[in-house]
């Protein structure tokens, strides 16, 4: 498949500027040529962009395709077949909103990734963590207090999200096992959380030795560890042990942010999930204890973004929305605008996240050799982040891997 985009205003997130009257040639799943002159191609389907903005597809670095319920406890009696079926519309909707790549941080397995890659399901390109790793009683331990040691994974959908790990030998085994099963990265829980009703929000989870074991094994495999963390103590411990990405990080302090900058760690704030849970969580069964926790992290979210911005931490773009709240995904752009400029936010959702994924030459950019993940925006998103709202209504074209998911410019 060959496609030629002409008459484009090209948005390079690195430069933060629009280049006028550009042409982009796509062959198969890659960008072949980018030029400020007309490109000749006898076989190409020509798309006249009409002066609209052509930009890279968006990347969300913190999603959960299998979490189809706000109240995670409702997944306990859901079989994997139903969880996979319900993931289909959620993934398609992400692509509708212009997210051509997403990083699943707990739950998605190689099967759902393969289904998307082979075209049996429609969705963004997936990078997966497999099951997130949690200590007993930690953020990923969703067992009721009456449950024993074992929960049958084939009969309980909630067990797909995470697995229980205690001690260094068990950590080594679990990391190796998730990598064996096809994980692109490893996710660990190093603090309490909002959606887990029985652990304190400020709890530090996993010992230094356990965290270091996870990092060592991931590094040996050529990948990295992402850590769910809220408190400064938990963030500090994770970064000192070599964790690459901190998820959420709402209670980060200045000294910890400086260490993150020195170590090259990323932070992936997820402001929209707290905003959405406050507005709509109760309607979909979020328990009162989680709503109370949510108030604390919501209040700290903007300040954590300011601290990391001032310290020069690499700030990724993530949303972490559960179930029915996932249609708020693009609202993250608006919530960050009190702290970051539009182009800084766009960079987070393109070039920064591509660097986080270690795919900076393939994703988040428009250059020869990169994946042809492209959006045509009606309007200038560097001036109006509202163009990412309304479930993709302002996106005239959505292309993933050289294939059109949406094309309202076709003749």
pLDDT tens digits, one per residue of 3-13: 999 999 999 99
Beta strands 225-231 and 266-268 are unpaired
The answer to whether the CB of 410 falls within 8 A of the CB of 397 is no
378 beta partners = none
Cα 393 to chain centroid distance, Å, stands at: 21
Averaged over successive runs of 10 residues, the pLDDT of the chain (411 residues) comes to 96 94 97 94 92 98 96 88 95 98 97 97 98 93 68 64 95 98 98 88 94 98 98 97 98 98 98 97 92 93 96 98 97 96 98 98 97 98 97 98 95 68
High-pLDDT (> 90) share of the chain, %: 86
Q: What is the 3-state secondary structure (H, E, C) of 103-121?
A: EECCCCCHHHHHHHHCCCC
Q: Please write the tens of the pLDDT for every residue from 28-45.
A: 999 999 999 989 888 999
pLDDT for 142:
76
Helices (H), 196-316: 208-221, 232-240, 254-263, 271-280, 288-311
Q: What is the pTM of this model?
A: 0.96
The secondary structure of residue 360, as a DSSP letter, is T
Task: Give burial (CB, 10 Å; 0-12/13-18/19+) of 403.
Answer: middle
Query: Nearest CA to 399 among 9, 41, 29?
Result: 29
Residue-level pLDDT at 114: 98
């Amino acid at each position: 498949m060959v496609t030629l985009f002409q008459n484009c205003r090209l948005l390079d997130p690195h430069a933060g500027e629009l280049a006028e009257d550009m042409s982009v040639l796509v062959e198969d799943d890659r960008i072949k040529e980018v030029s400020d002159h007309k490109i000749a191609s006898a076989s190409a389907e020509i798309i006249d962009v009409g002066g609209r903005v052509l930009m890279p597809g968006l990347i969300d670095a913190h999603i959960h395709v299998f979490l189809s319920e706000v109240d995670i406890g409702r997944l306990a009696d859901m079989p994997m077949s139903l969880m996979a079926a319900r993931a289909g519309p959620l993934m398609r909707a992400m692509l509708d909103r212009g997210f051509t790549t997403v990083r699943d941080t707990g739950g998605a397995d190689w099967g759902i990734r393969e289904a998307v890659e082979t075209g049996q399901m429609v969705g963004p390109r997936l990078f997966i963590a497999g099951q997130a790793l949690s200590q007993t009683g930690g953020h990923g331990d969703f067992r009721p207090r009456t449950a024993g040691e074992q929960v049958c994974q084939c009969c309980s959908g909630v067990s797909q999200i995470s697995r229980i790990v205690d001690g260094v030998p068990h950590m080594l085994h679990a990391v190796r096992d998730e990598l064996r099963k096809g994980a692109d990265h490893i996710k660990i829980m190093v603090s309490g959380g909002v959606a887990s009703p029985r652990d304190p929000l400020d709890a530090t989870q996993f010992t230094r030795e356990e965290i270091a074991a996870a990092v060592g094994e991931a590094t040996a495999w050529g990948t990295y560890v992402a850590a769910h963390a809220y408190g400064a103590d938990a963030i500090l411990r994770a970064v000192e042990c070599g964790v690459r990405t901190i998820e959420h990080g709402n209670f980060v302090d200045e000294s910890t942010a400086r260490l993150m900058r020195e170590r090259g760690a990323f932070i992936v704030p997820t402001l929209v999930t707290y905003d959405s849970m406050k507005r709509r969580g109760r309607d979909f069964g979020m328990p009162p204890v989680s709503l109370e926790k949510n108030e604390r992290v919501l209040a700290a979210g903007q300040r954590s973004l300011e601290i990391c911005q001032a310290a020069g931490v690499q700030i990724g773009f993530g949303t972490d929305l559960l179930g029915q709240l996932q249609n708020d995904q693009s609202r993250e752009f608006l919530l960050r605008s009190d702290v970051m400029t539009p182009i800084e936010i766009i960079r987070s959702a393109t070039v920064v996240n591509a660097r986080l994924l270690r795919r900076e030459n393939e994703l988040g950019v428009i250059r020869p050799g990169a994946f042809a993940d492209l959006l045509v925006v009606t309007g200038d998103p560097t001036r109006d982040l509202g163009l990412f709202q309304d479930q993709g209504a302002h996106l005239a074209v959505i292309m993933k891997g050289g294939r059109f998911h949406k094309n309202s410019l076709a003749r």
